[in-house]
Structure 1
């Protein structure tokens, strides 16, 4: 990169002496750098005369090809060093869709006030998608459940809160007439689980809770998203155990009922990349935790 900068400076100045003065090096040193670059490229880059120096056809080609590379390198380096000092102009956040209103939106409202120039990128992703994006460096912060957090020892994590659970069941189910449901009352029901590739550990959570209630869940199917879960609840006359943040307006034919057992809980986490990170990322973790 140093030799390319020397080459570009000579083109800009039209003179080896002026380029040497601009770069703060001796003229013989700069000339040797140009010779080294010509040897590396395999051809003459400048024509020299009483008028000074001008690029050869090869010199013009090298400038056309490499000037954008040097510029991109400089911009990338500036971004990295700014990030290292906690200054960053963008924040990439992954979240579980139904958790946005309850946890993310209030935190982002405050974050916007503190960082008005921040460019936010928001991604509605499954826990597995968030973990993959964090590991690929494509997310700065993730709002994720206990299942995904259990697989995230390589990230800084903070528990936001401990929630209860609810049961999604067909509107015609006997439990739909109850205000709350005891988990053990579902011992004869068929359960809709979640594919491990989407929410790793969710079925294990359900299985452990049912075991404490004295029975083994009878799995009917594993869904790949919440829409499929709701469709299967009606179609298979089955139930699904969910974190209570998912309570809201159910789709037609489905009702939500809180689980009355206080020991049935689910933990919500926020994750971020380890290291100092950006000030905005650290602040968002604090704000989500506060809300």
Structure 2
């Protein structure tokens, strides 16, 4: 497929609100939300986990059509090859090289081509001019910028590092595994280091000429309607008043989607509350708040977050 796919890539460290924003964007006309495509190869093609619609990946007609258009069927995809390419180019440690090179190399372009084929096929199947990938991984975004058949636009999701740290400590089941697995957990110190690394990487991506729009989780939830209008404009779409009728006072009414992987929120159908999760202000122990605040203080300050959470 040689057609250029317009991709809205939601990036940032996990637990920063990307799934929420993706679900809301997916309700807009002209947008097709795919979930975290970075996990498609293992969790869906190989492990046959559940799509956001509730069906097993192999039983989802939407994804079956995408596989046929992109590769002639998912059974034609060499998952081991995709994994080998990922290990060679899509790691945080590779970002400096990806950001500074003037010639990406064959492994980078080959790896990006797998994603480009999925995006183009999804746009064709859905009829949407914009596809949304909420993979989040900063290294993947740096890879995708080298794909000539991807019109990449990156939404950099930022949330207070202390709220992110608290979220990573919680036990969260993965419904797509039918109770067999949980989402990864990190210590506050570990999540603080990851928060710094991923957010800095998206800042570097912007300096390399990729269109990047940074939004703060807290500000988005304060006015989701205005936030969606701004993001649609960034994606090259014009909204009409009726397009936002699914937004109500304090909640959104969601249809079933076809998210390939991601936060359990992707399975929500019907009412979704739109409220900030600030439980960390009291639930995260003070010593851990101070640790995360100290490690992340330069970027917290740059993004406009108070270093003293009580000042919020």
TM norm. shorter chain > 0.5: no
The structure richer in strand per residue is 1
The structure richer in helix per residue is 2
**Short-chain TM bin:** under 0.3
Relative contact order, higher structure (CA 8 A, sep 6+): 2
> Normalising by the residue count of structure 1, what TM-score does the alignment of the two structures yield?
0.27
Q: Which has the larger radius of gyration?
A: 1
> Normalising by the residue count of structure 2, what TM-score does the alignment of the two structures yield?
0.26
